[in-house]
Amino acid sequence: MTAIPAPALPGRPHPLGSRLHAGGVSFSVYSGAAERIELLLYDHVDDVRPSRVIGLDPHRHRTWRYWHAFVPGLRVGQLYAYRAHGPWDPARGHRFDADKVLLDPYGRAVAMPSGWQREAACRPGRNDAQACKSVVADDNAYAWNGDTPLRRPFTQTVIYEAHVRGLTRHPSSGVDEMRRGTYAGLVEKIPYLVDLGVTAVELMPVFQHDTQDAPPGLVNYWGYSPLSFFAPHAGYATTPDRPLAVLDEFRDMVRACHRAGLEVILDVVFNHTHEGGEGGPTCSWRGLDNDTYYLLDEGGHYANYSGCGNTLNGNHSVVRRMILDSLRYWVRVMHVDGFRFDLASIFSRDERGVPMADPPLLWDIESDPVLAGTKLIAEAWDAAGLYQVGSFIGERWKEWNGRFRDDVRAFVRGDAGRVRALADRILGSPDLYGARPREPAQSINFVTSHDGFTLEDLVSYNAKRNEANLEGNRDGSDDNLSWNCGGPEHEGPTGDAAVLALRTRQVKNLLAINVLSLGTPMLLMGDEMRRTQGGNNNAWCQDNETSWLDWTLLERHAEIHRFVRGLIRIRNLRESVRRDHRLTLAELMARVKVQLHGVRVGQPDTSAESRSLAVTAWSLSGDLLMHFAMNAYWEPLDFELPALPGRATTPWRRVLDSSRPSPHDLVDLAEADAVSGPTLRVEPRSVVVLFAQVALPVLVDVAEAAPAA
């Protein structure tokens, strides 16, 4: 005789999502406009019908706009979803479809059916067997063994932007085939990352995302198409068909990174979802409460400030709480160290899309006590033209500095009129961040990221090569500030020795300025071994060797790998990096007594024709004097050297010279050649770094120990 399951009890509206209790599981979901909600329970993810349908009575199972129930006897691992009944009235913002299986917006894990079909959620009719299901999980069912987020100061941080799958998916990765492209595969590369010298991995989206949100025959590889804001992507696990094991494998990765001293920063996408525009799938938010979750115009059409078909209504109270709850979950339960917010300027828009002076969501994130120790990084622009680099709100937010990328690229390429901008960029962008008290690490400095050319392609192509994306080469930026270091005949791979040598030098120049400038440096995965995408500057849909890191490049380009390791060592000599001094940018500039020069000491040339700049600065402790000379001109230049103070214990020593062959291009301070004479010859398109050691006077305050050079 089949046992009759116990009836569902009313339950409570809090907490949202599903929660395990001693006698069963509680469920709660928000829907303001639904007339009726059904909780669906499944035995297997591929089932064409639920094993049990629990109708939520509006009188017993609803409190205000929250639908809730307690179901006795359920356990961890239970598959579930929802159906929402309500009006189909797009002009008023309602798009209910009672045939569609809907994920729980707060679901901790996602079960992917073998026949998952994005298209089945777009067309009329039931889609049970093709739909994802949420999975009941226990937030406390993991042994962290004392692990906590590292909370390293930005002043001591070097970020490595990586893709979980792309890092180890290539057969050359040396990772066992079952672990390639997974969280476990990343763990095997932790020793490599530590040896390189980076302190944080910034992972491209690891929220469960829709890989089918791409042109036919291609894959959404980057992951900027979220299905869930709480569940880690199952496709990056060694056992993707075991949702609870996915949670553990992700946490194993975080714990292993922390043990090695690496922070884990997540690239999070709260500006849109995979449901897209009017013709997109109904998988969760759209089917539960479209008018609440998305920005709509007066006719019910989706606002598209994300460039991806829809825009999340982030400053609505319910959506704002969901985003905050997600961030808290990833910190409390998954132990991540910080977040990089994709298209963060969208969070400034109100429900009509108008930018606000004091956006509630951004202030909530900044002031939330659970997030107080986490890194917050904003991509301070959106796809509709709102650009807030240098003006993003708050005190804690750091910013991806797109101006740094563009100005450094242009200077190194040899463009005219870029010296003044370069000076600002290498000094922490005081023109952007000097008006308010901001740390020197405010600027996240990068010359390449996932979005655009790799470093190798930046010096190898004048134009993008995106034909493989099946959009007629129309996608991706046309303004890359790139140069192939030769003529039209040298576009891409070439055998010309002179062009190849210049490309190597330009790679070193870009890396040196990026790593040694004031701010927080970020490196793109594989740039340290000259990874190429064959000129594709928008490889979002290329889940293949175009995007995967080819580890054979490590041996082939050992010279660049060695150079990057050395750059990070040089950076760590600076007192401003080794200590969390908590100085603002203005305070730091006063303490280190920066001086700008041209080819003549104290006379920086910022004219349109100038392509050279030199900078002298002291370490905070006053025992190290540093001189940087940059020549983007196509002929050698002789730079006057500033005189050393009488307390100098060494002459100027050439620690870095990008024109020299390896291993003489970068050496330890103790092994560096002395530079004699009043001038320094800097070869064409080169960067030179000199250090000199200075004795500290006895009983003199460190703050007074660094006189002007």
> Following DSSP, what letter does each residue of 246-311 receive, concatenated?
HHHHHHHHHHHHHHTT-EEEEEE--S--TT-STTS--SSHHHHHHHHHB-B-TTSPBP-TTSSS--
Tokens 């002031």 belong to residue: 367
Helices and strands: H and E segment counts in the chain:
16, 27
CATH, residue 686: 2.60.40.1180
Residue 699 has pLDDT above 80, yes or no: no
Q: Is the pLDDT of residue 617 over 70?
A: yes
77, 84, 66, 83: which is closest to 27 by C-alpha?
66
φ and ψ at 666, to 5 degrees? -150, 125
Q: What is the pLDDT of residue 706?
A: 46
Q: What share of the chain is helix, strand, coil (3-state, %, to 5)?
A: 30, 20, 55
- Pick from 460-464, 548-552, 605-609, 620-624: least confident: 620-624
Answer yes or no: are the C-beta atoms of 289 and 34 closer than 8 Å. Answer: yes
Helix (H, G, I), strand (E, B) or coil at 35: coil
Q: pLDDT value at position 696?
A: 84
Domain boundary among 77, 104, 135: 135
CA quadruple 317, 323, 327, 332: dihedral sign: positive
Q: What pLDDT sits at residue 7?
A: 85
Q: Look at residue 401 and tell me if it is in a domain.
A: no
Structural domain contains residue 97 = yes
pLDDT attached to residue 709: 38
Here the CATH number for the domain that contains residue 36 is: 2.60.40.10
Question: In which domain, by residue range, is 695 found?
Answer: 585-704
Of the candidates 342, 407, 451, 457, the residue annotated as catalytic is: 342
Q: Is the pLDDT of residue 622 over 50?
A: yes
Decide if 562 is inside a domain: no
Above 80 in pLDDT, residue 659? yes
Residue 391 lies in a domain: no
The active-site residue, picked from 104, 249, 289, 379, is 379
pLDDT band at 583 (very low <50, low <70, confident <90, very high): confident
Rounded to whole angstroms, what are the CA distances from 646 to 651, 694, 709?
11, 9, 11
Question: pLDDT tens-digit profile of 235-291?
Answer: 999 999 999 999 999 999 999 999 999 999 999 999 999 999 999 999 999 999 999
**pLDDT tens, position by position, 430-470:** 999 998 888 889 999 999 999 999 999 999 999 999 999 99
Burial class from Cβ neighbours inside 10 Å (0-12, 13-18, 19+) for residue 259 reads exposed
Q: Do strands 673-674 and 653-657 pair parallel, antiparallel, or not at all (unpaired)?
A: antiparallel
State how many domains the chain has: 2
Is residue 491 part of the annotated active site? The answer reads no
Question: What per-residue confidence (pLDDT) applies to 578?
Answer: 76
Query: In this predicted model, what pLDDT tens digit does every residue of 121-153 receive, in sequence order?
Result: 999 999 999 999 999 999 999 999 999 999 999
pLDDT attached to residue 230 = 98
- Provide the token pair at 362: 């951004």
Structural domain includes residue 58: yes
Q: Indicate the pairing of strand 443-445 with strand 398-400.
A: parallel
By three-state DSSP, how is residue 167 classified? helix
Task: Establish if 643 belongs to a structural domain.
Answer: yes
Average pLDDT score, the chain: 95
Q: Residue 697's pLDDT is what?
A: 73
Say what the pLDDT of residue 2 is.
Answer: 52
- Rounded percentage of the chain residues whose pLDDT exceeds 90: 92
The string of pLDDT tens digits covering residues 325-367 is 999 999 999 999 999 999 999 999 999 999 999 999 999 999 9
Q: What percent of the chain has pLDDT above 70? A: 98
Contacts of 175 (CB under 8 A, 6+ apart): 168, 185, 188, 189
Domain termination residue (choose one: 82, 114, 135): 135
**Residue 337 three-state SS:** coil
In a domain, 300, yes or no: no
Last residue of a domain, one of 135, 154, 170: 135
**Concatenated DSSP letters of 46-57:** T-SS-SEEEEE-
The predicted model gives 40-64 an average pLDDT of 97
- Please confirm, yes or no, whether 545 is among the known catalytic residues: no
